[in-house]
Amino acid sequence: MRHILIIGIGAGNPEHMTVQAINALNRADVLFIPTKGAKKAELAEVRRDICARYVTRPGSRTVEFAVPMRRTEGRSYTDSVDEWHASIATAYEDLLERELSDGQTGAFLVWGDPMLYDSTIRIIERVRARGRVDFGFDVIPGITSLQALCASHRIPLNLVGKPVEITTGRRLAESFPEKTATAAVMLDGEQAFQKVEDPEAEIYWGAYLGTPDEIVISGRLDEVKEKILSTRKEARERMGWIMDIYLLRKGADFDD
């Protein structure tokens, strides 16, 4: 039977790799590296750098594959994601059949941690359920962008004894500030923080965390909002892409 390792590689700094992740890399016969087009070439580059630094096993090889693009026209969000996952599942099936022989191990290098806003695990489950290729799999955790954000700002994620909501830009308005004192926001293409009108809200923002291009800004939301927007716009134009994450907070430790 074939075996798959889904390895969390951290959020951009090759030193985020845990000892467990390095050992897992060295159990693999084949390392699968996704490419996401020229704009995000840096992300594939981080994976190549990780392999070059840490893979010591003789004879293992790297296979790069293009990730299918998501189509959105004329589809609901859920239909579009479901269709996209189905096409990635087919790409995975082809890769496993073509690149791994019976008894071999393949590794998928997943950005951050595979449990956080990443679908590799559910797509691998989908491939298994289809039954065309027989394999087992394990998941190796990694440092998430949320951990990298808190570390760079030198803050704890939660206020003492208080909950945190992890959400997307699309759904931020449903949670902060009414329902939660701390919201961590990922996958925000619309800069949803702009619409938060609360004089007490604070923001901790970070882009390209863990990489040499890392930018962090924090402060009272109404005071730094414009600075984040202009910094983000300038960086996105200069780099051709951006990945950013932020934490919105209201209140303090020991508030009731």
Ligand X SMILES: C[S@@+](CC[C@H](N)C(=O)[O-])C[C@H]1O[C@@H](n2cnc3c(N)ncnc32)[C@H](O)[C@@H]1O
The footprint of ligand X on this chain (CB under 6 A) covers a number of residues equal to 20
For ligand X, what does the binding mask look like between residues 169 and 188, x meaning CB under 6 A?
A: -----------------xx-
- Does 9 interact with ligand X (rule: CB under 6 A)? no
Q: State how far the Cα of 56 lies from the Cα of 1, in Å rounded to an integer.
A: 24
Residue 251 burial by Cβ neighbours in a 10 Å radius (0-12, 13-18, 19+): middle
Distance, in Å, from the CA atom of 89 to the CA atom of 82, rounded to the nearest integer, reads: 10
**Binding positions for ligand X, 63-102, rule CB under 6 A:** none
Token pair of 148 as six digits: 């990298």
Stretch that binds ligand X, among 77-85, 175-183, 227-235, 240-248 (CB under 6 A): 240-248
Helices then strands, counting H and E runs in the chain, come out as: 6, 10
Distance CA 157, CA 170 (A): 21
- Closest contact distance (angstroms) between CB of 12 and ligand X is 4
Which residue lies nearest ligand X, judged by its C-beta? 112
Is 112 near ligand X (CB under 6 A)?
A: yes
> Site mask, ligand X, residues 20-59, x = CB under 6 A?
----------------------------------------
Q: Indicate whether 145 belongs to the interface with ligand X (CB under 6 A).
A: yes
Work out whether 11 is an interface residue with ligand X (CB under 6 A): yes
When asked if residue 116 is in the footprint of ligand X (CB under 6 A), the reply is yes
- The residue among 194, 179, 183, 188 whose CA lies nearest residue 159 is 183
111 near ligand X, judged by CB under 6 A? yes
Q: Which two tokens stand for residue 10?
A: 């951290």
Residues 6+ apart with CB under 8 A from 51: 25, 31, 33, 62, 109
From the CB of 254, what's the least distance to ligand X, in Å? 30
Kindly state the greatest CA–CA separation across the chain: 60
- SS3 state of residue 192: helix
Can residue 207 be called a binding residue for ligand X (CB under 6 A)? yes
Q: Measure the CA–CA gap between 99 and 4, rounded to whole angstroms.
A: 12
Interface with ligand X includes 209 (CB under 6 A)?
yes
Residues interacting with ligand X, by CB under 6 A?
11-12, 111-113, 116-118, 144-145, 186-187, 206-210, 243-245
